[in-house]
Chains A and B, each alone.
Chain A
Amino acid sequence: MNQNEKLSVVVEREFPHPPEKIWRALTQPHLIAEWLMQNDFKPVVGHHFHLRTTPYGNWDGVIESEVLAIEPQKSLAYRWNSGEGALRVACVVTWTLTAVGNGTHLRMEQSGFRADQPQNYQGAKYGWQNFFGRLEQLLGRAE
């Protein structure tokens, strides 16, 4: 395993809709609820909120979040923390909108960072660590 490998899930798609419209779907609570989850989101940096879905297995279905960065109609980043034990997810979800012709390219990146050092987080520069390195720390704390 390469030391520089990072855990990051990227999903991208082009939509035949303008960025303004997609931005509304990403930032208005009643619209977010229609495609993502029930929530008490507010487009304010530092706002703490929850996303809630149906619990399954050992998971309570709750994602704890905090708005980290907003650039209207361009980008949005929030925490994505949930679960417990070895599979605890402590991530940041970053949405990036790019106008393309008559539509928009939407990119979602879910990345992990050093959960024990939130002070290392600065703007868009996340202190990412390699996947297994991060797990090592999480497991070390869990035991």
Chain B
Amino acid sequence: MQHMADTVLKSLADPTRRAIFESLNRDGEQTVWMLTDQAGVSQPAVSKHLGVLKSAGLVRDRREGRQTHYSADPKGLKPLLDWASQMTGFWQKKFDALEDLLNRMDQ
């Protein structure tokens, strides 16, 4: 779990890569050329970023003729959400333990 969250966080820590992932979430499926138009970096750089996002499970690709279409895979964010809910769950349990203690303490 920890390793998966590491991979997702590292993928999204780069601002250009994050912008590509956001664009795929916001505007839906796109080709590398459509993404290059907005990214402000070269097409090979965009392709490289897409490769990283894909191996992190954040992006899927689909071949159609000579074009590859990329789309965001929301399931890829699950390790990050799991990690975030662990953080909240930790404190909920501590609050329960605090409540127990307060009920046992003298005024």
Residues of A at the B interface (CB closer than 8 Å) are 1, 9, 11, 13, 15, 17-18, 21-22, 24-25, 31, 34-36, 57-58, 85-87, 106, 108, 110, 132, 135-136, 139-140
Q: Assess whether B9 is in contact with A86, with CB atoms less than 8 Å apart.
A: yes
A25-B101, A35-B98, A36-B94 known; A135+B13 contact, CB < 8 A: yes
Contacts of A11 in B (CB 8 A): 88, 91-92, 95
Q: Assess whether B101 is in contact with A35, with CB atoms less than 8 Å apart.
A: yes
Chain B at the A interface: SS class = helix
A21-B107, A34-B101, A132-B13 known; A87+B94 contact, CB < 8 A: no
- Since A22-B98, A86-B10, A139-B13 are in contact, a sample of 9 more A-B pairs with Cβ atoms closer than 8 Å, ordered by chain A residue number, is A9-B84, A13-B99, A15-B99, A21-B102, A25-B101, A34-B97, A34-B101, A35-B94, A139-B9
Q: Which 7 A-B pairs have the closest CB atoms?
A: A35-B97, A11-B91, A86-B6, A35-B98, A136-B13, A35-B101, A139-B13
